[in-house]
Amino acid sequence: MTYCSIETLNKAQKRIVAHKNGPALVIAGAGSGKTRVITHRVAQLIHSGVPASSILLLTFTNKAADEMTQRVGRAINNSTDQNKIIHGTFHSVGNRFLRQHAKLLDYKNNFSILDTSDSKDMIKAAIAETMGKPGKFFPKAAVLQNLFSLAFNRNGSQDMILTVPYHKRNFHLDQLIFSDYPHFEEYLETIIKVLAAYRKKKKRGQVMDFDDLLENWLELLVVNGEELPLCRQINQILVDEYQDTNKVQAEILLLLSGQQNNLMVVGDDAQSIYSWRGADFGNMLEFPEKYKAVTYYMEENYRSSPEILDAANQSINYNTRQFEKNLFSSLPVGEKPIVHHVWSSEDESELVLKSILGYRDQEIPLNEMSVLYRNHVQSAVLQVKLTHAGIPFVIHSGVKFFEQAHIKDITAFLKVLYNPLDEISWMRLLRLLPGIGNNTAFRIFSVFLDQQAVRLTKENDSLNKLIPKKALHSWNVLQECFQKMLEGKISPSNMIGIIYQNFYRDVLFSSFENALQRETDVRYLEEFAVNYDKLETFLNELSLVGSSILTDLESEQHDNQEALTLTTIHQAKGLEWDVVIVIGLTEGLFPHQRSLETEEQIEEERRLFYVAMTRAKRHLLLTAPLISSSYFKGASQRSRFISELPDGSINKVVHKLDDYSYITRRSSTQFYF
């Protein structure tokens, strides 16, 4: 028996919704209506007599879970049943289990949950407890927080939970550091001790961080699974975005599904792009064999034109580890994707600007246009050009390039050179020195105010007596940096190089988990500054760009104001626009240089390219600069993803070097200090 609204589904969707019992894998291609299928599946289960309270719906955001259950309520016209569905993220449902049964793990049911800030503060306390005052370049608490979480999400397992006591579990942290963070190898033994101290403090204080919600839930299921009332209550499990699950989440599902094995997982292996945060691509590939599951395919795309899908299919077919599928569309014929071969990133930005203006002339609103890129750094030049052209833009779900912490740190040095009494910049700069907090920084700045000048010399007794002993070395290095920057005519670009190489690099690698990516950003800023011959002009440009960008919240508050979207491809997943422009298709940038070591990494980069292409509904532009930046190794040829597209699936435009009038200026700057 079915309810009437199922008739609105296509044949493939109907088969999935009507699935009886047992494990099922749904390969839901991009734009194929997976949310609609999941909600209809839940509605059909309830309509056929399955109690709503026995259905578990797991998603990756609480917002998505709430929206799905509301749609179920509308479909079955029963808000009471809608509210009985157990739904939420893995973490929120894990919390629900633990609130009922925490005593089985020697926790009280009123345990507290640490947010990110609380967790960081407890790690700081664990550092102090373990080693007193850490060395100058010992990783900061925020860096350790990311390391601990990544090790757990990659390596958490039933075996470790059964054989290793809670406070001794380090989830092969040593392997993670050796492979991904070799600059921390000298601190490995101490880092493991800090982790043990952190875990002891959490247990002693009856608190859990977000990873504990999964770890302790898994332990609860391993030791007591069949005895838990919630486990006996759950009869049907549906999981959205299964390709993004990690090893721990997969093991939780295995235990939850139990003997009834009524587990349906929905996802798209071609959109698995989050291995860097612990997602395990193998969970989806191994599911059919592991569960002896029925596999369904959703291949009809309701978003993109046939031409865009044809190019996307051609690209992803180069991957060998995947479920073979072929997306198709019944939408009207459109234009083929256009690949622009340009000379440089400057030419690329000029082309993007002209294209956006051209689409506006076709009456396509800015809200229906997006520029996608592999890394935020690639949008810096474009942000400047859009600002000068008066085109409003919003950077989606990410910090603006020029407002990232490490970029603001670097520009603080330049700002105090330009304006020696800039309090905000001095405070930011001084707090980078070990042992200097807000109070000491303000006392140092007060000396500058009293003297109405900045004299960073050993003869300045009023100043030197305020410098803590642990900051003396860094203070002396800072003085040397300023002296170098004031010698002769030093350009803004050279200033950035002096600051970074002599002072800031050590700060960066001890403060940020993704230091290598941030180093790339700083080097890009250095090269970007080459285009400005005066410090004043450069700083004014940065301020102008920063003030012109709408945040996500501001964009939502000004619904009537059109704004172009700039976003990384990772942040664009799940979204769509009429016009999508993918920039930076240069080897070493996309695919990224750090993803060229193994075929597995390259295939994930190709999946990322596939995600970018399938965000477009009507128009897809791909730009491939031959030279993107001298700092990106391997950035001397266009991306392999461009060459893999058959000529018949794209329109190619090759721009000559003299198509653009941009000339790089390399001049010096005179300073008065």
The pLDDT value given to residue 365: 95
Q: Give me the mean pLDDT over the 69-76 stretch.
A: 80
pLDDT for res 659: 56
Cα–Cα distances in angstroms (integers) from residue 464 to residues 432, 445, 475, in the given order: 17, 12, 9
Inter-helix orientation angle 173-180/141-155, to 10°: 110
Which pLDDT score is estimated for 174? 93
Is 226 a residue whose pLDDT tops 80?
Answer: no
Q: What is the pLDDT of residue 37?
A: 93
| 150-179 CB burial, b ≥16 within 10 A, e <16 | bbbbbbbbbebbeeeebbebbbbbeebbee
Residue type, 455: R
Q: What is the mean pLDDT of the chain?
A: 85
Token digits for 345?
A: 């990133």
pLDDT at 556: 45
Which amino acid makes up residue 460? N
The answer to whether residue 492 scores a pLDDT higher than 50 is yes
Average pLDDT on 38-47 reads 91
Instruction: Kindly indicate the confidence band of residue 672, based on its pLDDT and cuts at 50, 70 and 90.
Output: very low
Most confident of 205-219, 221-235, 630-644: 205-219
On the CB side of 324, CA atoms within 13 Å amount to 2
User: By mean pLDDT, which of 100-104, 136-140, 181-185, 279-283 is the weakest?
Assistant: 136-140
Could you give the 3-state DSSP secondary structure of residue 359? Answer: helix
pLDDT band (50, 70, 90) for residue 636? low
> What is the average pLDDT across 282-299?
95
The candidate with the shortest Cα–Cα distance to 283, out of 331, 248, 318, 327, is 248
Listed range (10-19, 35-44, 264-273, 475-484) with the worst mean pLDDT: 475-484
Task: Calculate mean pLDDT across residues 422-438.
Answer: 85
Can you list the pairs that 137-144 forms with residues at least 24 positions away whose Cβ atoms lie under 8 Å?
Answer: 137/506, 137/509, 137/510, 138/187, 138/190, 138/510, 139/184, 139/187, 139/191, 139/510, 140/510, 140/511, 142/511, 142/512, 142/513, 143/510, 143/511, 143/512, 143/513, 144/191, 144/194, 144/195
| Run of H or E including 569 | helix 569-572
Task: Give the C-alpha separation, 280 to 61, whole Å.
Answer: 18
Task: Kindly tell me if the per-residue pLDDT of 666 is higher than 70.
Answer: no
When pLDDT is averaged across residues 48-62 and rounded to a whole number, the result is 89
Q: How far apart are CA 434 and CA 632, in angstroms?
A: 32
268-277, 357-366, 441-450, 581-590: lowest mean pLDDT where?
A: 441-450
- Give pLDDT, residue 288: 96
Whether residue 553 has pLDDT greater than 60: no
Question: Of the given ranges (395-409, 461-475, 611-625), which has the lowest mean pLDDT?
Answer: 395-409
Please list, in sequence order, all residues whose beta carbon lies within 8 angstroms of the beta carbon of residue 338, skipping any fewer than 6 positions away: 620, 621, 622, 650, 651, 652, 653
What's the CA gap between 624 and 111, in Å, rounded?
53
- Cis omega (within 30 of 0) on the bond before 591? yes
pLDDT score for 491: 86
DSSP per position, 132-153: SSPPTTSPPHHHHHHHHHHHHH
* Distance (Å) of CA 11 to CA 7, 19, 78, 632: 9, 13, 26, 48
Beta bridge partners of 238: 57, 264
pLDDT of residue 408: 87
The pairing of strands 55-59 and 263-267 is unpaired
pLDDT tens digits along 332-348: 999 999 999 998 888 89
Q: What's residue 134's pLDDT?
A: 73
Contacts of 389 (CB under 8 A, 6+ apart): 353, 357
Average pLDDT over residues 374-387: 85
pLDDT tops 70 at residue 667: no
Percent of the chain with pLDDT over 70: 89
pLDDT at res. 450? 75
Q: What distance in Å separates the CA atoms of residue 417 and residue 534, rounded to the nearest whole number?
A: 12
Q: Which of 160-164, 307-311, 609-613 has the lowest mean pLDDT?
A: 160-164
Q: Angle at CA 473, nearest 5°, toward 469 and 479?
A: 115
Would you state the pLDDT for residue 1?
44
The predicted structure's pLDDT at residue 60: 82
Query: What is the rounded distance in angstroms from the CA atom of residue 359 to the CA atom of residue 354?
Result: 9
Given this model, what pLDDT does residue 75 score? 77
Task: Tell me the per-residue pLDDT of 462-479, one tens digit each, with 9 for 90 and over.
Answer: 777 888 888 888 888 888
For 576-592, the pLDDT digits (tens) are: 999 999 999 998 889 98
Q: What percent of the chain has pLDDT over 90?
A: 42
Would you place residue 400 in the very low, low, confident or very high pLDDT band (cuts 50, 70, 90)?
low
CB atoms closer than 10 angstroms to residue 83? 13
pLDDT at 632 over 50: no
